[in-house]
Structure 1
C-alpha cells in the first residue's frame, strides 16, 4: 500500500496495523474521529517521514510502533494536547533518522514502560527535569546512537528505580561512575558494548538483580571484582584488546556464560580456569 483512505472515518477503531507497506504518511481520518478509541497503532516498515501533531491527541493509545521508517523528528504537542499520551506503554522508534527528541517526551508519556530508540542519530536524550518519581520505564533500547555519559547520569537519576533492561551499545560512553551505576537498583540486563569505556563501575556487584552484563568491544583495562554478584550469570567482555589481569575471581562467581575472546593480554592459566 502506498496510501490508505478509510471511509467513513472509524469511530470505534481500537487497533490498526499497517506495517510493512509503502505508506509515506498515516491516514488523516484517524485523528478527528479515532483518537478516543485507538489503543494500538503499528506502522513499522513504511516510508513515513513526518507524523501529524494530532498524534498526541490519542489519549488512550497504549502501543505505538513506528520502527523502520524515515522519521527525522517528532512533532511538538499542540497546546490542547499538553497532557500527551498518558496511557502509552510501548513506543518503538528504532531504525529511523531521528537526531533529536521533543524536550517534553518523558512528560508526554508518563506511563511508558518500553522505549526503543535504537539505530538513529541521537546525540542526547531529552533532559527536561521530571516532576515526580513515579516513572515506570522498564526497558530502554538506545543502541547505535551517539549518546554520552550525561545521558546515563540522567537515566540513573530519573529512571534508576524502574529500569530493568538498559541497552546502550555502540554509543559514545567513556565513563560510568560507581555512584551512577548504583542508582540502577532494579537492573537485570546491561549492554554497554561498543563504547569507549576503560573501566566498569565497581558497584556492579552490588546490583542484587543484575543477571547479564555485556561490555565487549570497549577499551577495558581491568575488570572489577564481580565474584560477590548474587545473580549474575552472563558476562561478555570479549574484544577488549587492552584488558589484562586474572580471571580467577570470576571462576569463583555464579557465572554460567563468560566470553573473554580476543583479549590477547589476559593472563589465563589452566589453574585459573579450574
Structure 2
C-alpha cells in the first residue's frame, strides 16, 4: 500500500484517526487552488469570480482544485465545467438539489458533495464511461437507496455515503474492485450482502449506526481489512470466521446486544474459605508434605493459576475477578481482552502493565456473543 487510508467520515460524526488519511490533499495542489470556501456566495457571484481565470489561458489550465464549501449554491456554477484540468471539487455544505455528471467535462479525482439536499433522483442516471474519480463523498444527504450508478465508478478508492437514509447495500458493489475505504455509517441498513466479501482491496469498512443483526461469514475474505466499525447496531453474535482477519487492528463493537449481554453475565463472587486458605499456602510458599493434607486438597493446590498481573504474586483457583478491556476508537486498546485476576485490587493495576497476548488469541476474544 502506497499511502494510508481514512475511515473518518466527513459527515455528522467524526472520529480521531490521525494515522489514516486520504491520498488526495489540498496541499498537493499548492498554488493551483481556487478557494472560495466560507464566502456565503451564490451561483452568480461565484461564476463571476471564476470568469477571471479564463482571461489567461495558462492560469486557467493550472487550476486543479476548486473549493466551494459553505456557500449558498443551489446549483453548480456553469464555469466549473470549463476547467479542463480540474482534479478536486469540493461542494460540501451548500443547498444543492441536483448533481450533474461533471465527470464528462473535468477529469476529477476527488468530488466532495457532502451535506447538501441530494436525493436519488438528484444524481445523474450514469456517469461518464471514462472517469478518473477515486474519491466520492455523498455523506449527509437524503439518499434512501444505494445509488446503483456509483458501482460503475470502477476506479473509486474512497466512497463515503454516511448519514443518509439507505436501507440496503447494492448487490453490484462487487464492481468496485479498487475500493479501499467504504463508509456506510449512520444509515438504516439491515442486511450486509455476501458480495461485500468480494472487495479484496478493502482496508477500512464502517457499518456503524445501522440496524444490522448479522454479518455474512465471507466477511473473512476481506484479508486486507485493517479497520472495522460495527458499533451501535443490533449484533448479537459475530461469525466465527472473523478470526481469519489477520490484519484487523481496529474494531469497534460498543452498544451492540452482544457486548451488553457479555457484561451483564459477568459476576464477581467472593472466594470460599477453601480458596482463601489455598491462596495463603501458595503465596507464602508454605511446605506441604505427603500426609499433611488429604489427596483431594493436594490436587486442588496443583490447580492454582497465577494472576496475569506481572507485578502480583497472587494466585486464584475457582474464583477470580473478570476484567474486560473493550476496543474502541475512543480508547487505547486494539481488541477486546479478558483478564482473569486474583483480586479486585489487581484490576486497578493491570491497565498498562499486562502484556497483550498473541493476535490470534485477541481475535478469538472478539467473539463475545
TM-score, with structure 1 as normaliser: 0.74
CA distance in 2, matches of 1:50, 1:71: 5
Q: Is the 8 A contact 2:101 2:128 kept in 1?
A: no
Q: Is the 8 A contact 1:111 1:135 kept in 2?
A: no
Determine whether 1:183 maps to 2:198: yes
Summarize the alignment of residues 52-91 of structure 1 with structure 2, pairs less than 5 Å apart: 52-53=77-78, 55-75=80-100, 83-85=104-106, 87-91=107-111
Summarize the alignment of residues 103-142 of structure 1 with structure 2, pairs less than 5 Å apart: 103-104=124-125, 106-107=127-128, 110-128=131-149, 135-142=154-161
Aligned to 1:17: 35
Determine whether 1:167 maps to 2:183: yes
Determine whether 1:51 maps to 2:76: yes
Selected match of 2:224 from 209, 218, 224: 209
RMSD, aligned CA: 3.3
The alpha-carbon deviation at position 128 of structure 1 amounts to 4.0
Q: Is the 8 A contact 2:233 2:256 kept in 1?
A: yes
Determine whether 1:258 maps to 2:327: yes
Name the stretch that deviates more: 87-96 or 48-57. 48-57
Q: Is the 8 A contact 1:222 1:243 kept in 2?
A: no
Aligned to 1:238: 254
Aligned to 2:175: 158
Q: Is the 8 A contact 2:169 2:193 kept in 1?
A: no
CA 1:185/1:53 → structure 2, altered by over 3 Å: closer, same or farther?
same
Determine whether 1:200 maps to 2:218: no
The alpha-carbon deviation at position 127 of structure 1 amounts to 2.3
Q: Is the 8 A contact 1:235 1:257 kept in 2?
A: no
Query: Which blocks of at least 5 consecutive residues in structure 1 are unaligned?
Result: 1-12, 248-255, 262-267
Name the stretch that deviates more: 33-42 or 189-198. 33-42
Larger radius of gyration: 2
SS in 1 for 2:237: coil
The alpha-carbon deviation at position 125 of structure 1 amounts to 4.2
CA distance in 2, matches of 1:205, 1:157: 15
The alpha-carbon deviation at position 24 of structure 1 amounts to 1.6
CA distance in 2, matches of 1:50, 1:30: 15
Aligned residues: 236
Which structure dedicates a bigger proportion of its chain to helix?
Answer: 2
Selected match of 2:163 from 144, 162, 171: 144
The alpha-carbon deviation at position 55 of structure 1 amounts to 3.5
Q: Is the 8 A contact 1:239 1:260 kept in 2?
A: no
SS in 2 for 1:227: helix
SS in 1 for 2:76: coil
